[in-house]
Amino acid sequence: MMIKPYVRQGEGEEVVSPLQWMDGDMSSPDGDTSIPSHRYRAGGVTQQTREMGSEDAEEDEEEIEEGQEDENESKRRGPKKKRMTKARQERFRARRVKANARERSRMHGLNDALENLRSIMPCHSKTQKLSKIETLRLARNYICALSEALEGGLSTESRAFMETLCKGLSQPTTNLVAGCLQLGPTPGAGMRPEDRHGVQPPPAPLGGMVSYSSPGLPSPPYGTFDSAHLLHLRAMKGGPYENHSPNEYNAGGVGTPPYDGPPTPPLSISSNLVPKQEPSPHYPPPHHYSPSPVDQVLYQTQTGYDVHLEGPYDSYHPPHMPPRQITSVYRD
């Protein structure tokens, strides 16, 4: 029988630690067979039992019967370990519970910091989170790429900038970055439906750097390039990106939600990286994604081409999300 020692927070159930769970039952692993085996795993209760046996405590307290351990201890070298008493067990348990709570809190703080880091990444997505390791890798690349750009050695329009950004990233994350920066050959297909706000004609892909499974990715962890980055950039005066015209970030009459979030890095990748390209009359490409009515309007406004729907419209288009500024991918 499988019994959960605890359930995760955020799932609507109370977290029960193994220590709490095993209250009132401290019998040996070799004894009570009704005890689930995982309660005595190497990193868990078994080690706890070990520590109990090594802890110093008052000798005059009531001892617990541990016939099996007595046999083992008699064969063991080194200083004889003190026997576990009930009082010592309780102290240990209280200490361990406190330590667990601290450790949980510490990890939550770490995760919060990681989430803050995610939120300022150039392809932040609320629906598809980067993993921890990928967040750190992308952050490192982001810093490197920005540093090189600021030093003048690397243009943000260059392929090298993008390559620096994607260096060492997994293929899904690379695709995510490319998709968010509108570099993929399949607009719309490069994003999850819930992240899709606009449609662009397919710009030229970065040759060889980003590979796509065709047609589209089976389960692409795509996100969006947060327009807050663009807005923040517009507010910057005297910075290296101040020469961009406002229309570059908000053209086509598409409104942009007011930005009231935390400061974000001054980078407009989507407006800098993608070379201007004539829209393709063959758009949209024959992929599984069908542009939404909003997307169609945006596309027609932008390109003058009609959108031919080949399949059912993927109706998942969050109403609370404003359409993307599709014109931001073009440069004057």
Partner DNA sequence: TAGGCCATCTGGTCCT
Partner DNA sequence: AGGACCAGATGGCCTA
| Both tokens assigned to 75 | 């064969």
Task: Identify which of 258, 266, 275 has the alpha carbon closest to the alpha carbon of residue 205.
Answer: 275
Q: How far is the CB of 67 from DNA (least distance, A)?
A: 21
Using CB under 7 A as the binding rule, whether residue 119 contacts DNA is answered as no
From CA 157, how far away is CA 145, in angstroms rounded?
11
CA distance 180 to 177: 5
Binder among 23, 31, 32, 50 for DNA (CB under 7 A): 50
Query: Does 37 contact DNA by CB under 7 A?
Result: yes
Nearer Cβ to DNA (9/214): 9
Residue 18 contacts DNA per CB under 7 A: yes
Tell me which residues in 124-143 interact with DNA (CB under 7 A): 129, 131-134
Q: Which stretch binds DNA (CB under 7 A): 36-44, 77-85, 149-157, 300-308?
A: 36-44
Q: Residue 284, preceding bond cis, omega within 30 degrees?
A: yes
CB of 173 to DNA, least distance (A): 8
Rg (CA), the chain: 29
**Token pair belonging to 188:** 């719309």
Check residue 47 for interaction with DNA (CB under 7 A): yes
Helix (H, G, I), strand (E, B) or coil at 49: helix
The 3-class secondary structure across 165-186, one letter per residue, is HHCCCCHHHHHHHHHHCCCCCC
**Contact mark string toward DNA, 55..74, x via CB under 7 A:** --------------------
Site of interaction with DNA (CB under 7 A): 2, 4-6, 8-9, 15, 17-19, 37-38, 41-45, 47-51, 54, 95-104, 106-108, 111, 129, 131-134, 170, 218-219
